[in-house]
Amino acid sequence: MMNTQLVLTEFFKRAETHFSQKQIISRTSETKIHRLTYKDFSLRTKKLAAALEKLGMQRGMKIGTFAWNHHRHLEVYFAVPCSGAVLHTINIRLSPEHIIYIINHAEDEILFVDADLLPLIEAVQSELKTVKIYIIMGDDVDLSQCKLPNAYSYEKLVAEARDDFEFPQDLDENSPAGMCYTSATTGLPKGVVYTHRGIVLHSMILGMVESFGLNERDVTLPIVPMFHVNAWGFPFAAVNYGTTQVLPGPSFTPKLLLELIESEKVTITAGVPTIWLGVLQVLENSERPIDISSLRTVISGGSASPKGLIKAFEQKYNVPFIVGYGMTETSPIVSASNYTSEMDDWSHEEKLEARSTQGAPMSLIDTRIINEDGDVPADGKTMGELIIRGPWVASEYYNDERTKEAFRDGWLYTGDIAVRTPQGFIKITDHTKDLIKSGGKWISSVDLENALMTHDAVFEEAVIAMPHPKWQERP
C-alpha cells in the first residue's frame, strides 16, 4: 500500500481541483457579505502564504488568530498549516489575563487580529513577549489609527504578494498543524496541539453517515467559533468535501442566523444549546413564518441539550437535532446521538431520550466508563468517569505539568461522569467537580437541570451545590 501522508495540503488541492466554482459566503460586517469561489479562496490563500513567508514565517512557527468566522480566517486556516507552520486560534472571549498567558505560552510570533477586536489586543500588547508582527483583518483597515507596532493590512499583503506560490510537498503527517487552549474554569488554560494526521482523520469522519454525513451537496453554517476547537472541524472538512460554506462573521444574532439559513438554503449547522434556544425563541415569536425547511441537520454540543429544545426542532419544525460530544483535547468530535435501526419502531419519547444523550462513539474512538469497581455495565444507571483514546485525541498538554493528571496509560481522563445505555450510547450525567453529594448520595446537576428545562416557563437554568448542615450539600 502507498504510504500517503495525511496532510492538509491534500484537502486544499482537492478543493482547488474539483470544487473551484463552489462558494464561500462570508459576512464581515453588518452591511457586507463577500461571495468567493473556491478558486478565489485558493489563489488568495496561496498569496497569503507567500506574504507570510516574506515576513519570516518558518516551519514550526506559531501563528495566532484573534478573529470571527469569515473568509479571511478560513484562508489563514490553510495558509499557515499548509506551509508547515502552526495555527493557534485564540478564544476572543477569554479574560485579558488568559489571553496574555496563552499567546506567551504558545510563543506566537505573528498575530492576525480582526479590526473590530483591535482594542482587546492593544490593551494587552505591552505584555505580549513573543509577537513580532500584527496583521489586521477587515474590509477597510486604517492603520493610522492602529496602536500596535509592526502592523500590516491583510488585504494589502494579499494584493501585493506573488501569485505563483506553491505549498511544500514534504510535510510530515505527524507534525503540528494547529493548537487551541482549553477555556479553563479554574486555573490557567491548557494547550492542545493538533497534528496534520489528527485533523485530516477527524475532518474525514465528519463526512461519514455515522456522524454528520457532510458532503458536496451541503451548505454548512458553522456557528461554533473558528477560534475554538477549529469550529468543530467544519472549516477543514468543508474544504475537503467541496461544501458550500456560510460564515456568519461578527456579532451575529439568532435573527441573523435564521435569515442566513433561509436565504442561503443552509442544510447543516452547528452550535451550542444557548444558540439554539435563542433561535427557537425567534422562530416561535416571529411575525412572519421563517422557512428553515432546507435544514437536514442541526448539531448541538458544548453542554447538555434540553429535551424540550430537541423536541421542538424535531417534532414541530421537522429538523433532526443531533447532540454531539467532545472536548478541546479530542479535536473535538467523540460521539453523536444518531438513531440506529434498532430505534426505528421506538416511540417519540423513547427516541427523545436517546437523542438527548451524547450518543455512540465515532469509528476509531475507544471509550470506557470506569469507577472503583472497573468498567461500568451498559445499564444506563451505573456511573463512572469517561475515558477516551483515538487517533485525533491528544496525548498530552503543551508544555504543561498537568499532563500527568489527565493522560494516563494512553487514555484521556475527561473528568466527565457518565453512564452507558444498553444501546452503547454515552450519557453524560455530570462533571466530577459538579456532582452534588447529599446525605451520602451523588446527585447529578445535569439531570436536575434537564428536568427544570422541561417546564414551559423555564428558558435557561443552572444547578449548583450549596453547603447544608445536615446533608453536607443540597442542590
Catalytic residues: 182, 329, 437, 442
Q: Report cis status (omega within 30 of 0) of the bond before 332.
A: yes
Map grid coordinates 435544514 to a residue. 295
Report d(CA 454, CA 309) in Å as an integer: 9
Residue 237 Rama label (left phi>0; alpha psi -120 to 50; beta): alpha
Q: 247 near 254, Cβ under 8 Å?
A: no
Report d(CA 120, CA 176) in Å as an integer: 28
> Pairing relation of β-strands 366-371 and 374-375?
antiparallel
The residue ranges of DSSP E strands in 131-249, in sequence order, are: 133-137, 151-153, 176-181, 191-195, 219-222, 244-247
C-alpha cell at 346: 421506538
Report d(CA 307, CA 150) in Å as an integer: 51
> Pairing relation of β-strands 366-371 and 384-389?
antiparallel
Looking at the chain, the number of H-run helices and the number of E-run strands are 14, 26
Q: What stretches of 318-368 show up as alpha helix (H) in DSSP?
A: 348-355
Rg of the chain taking only CA atoms, in angstroms: 22
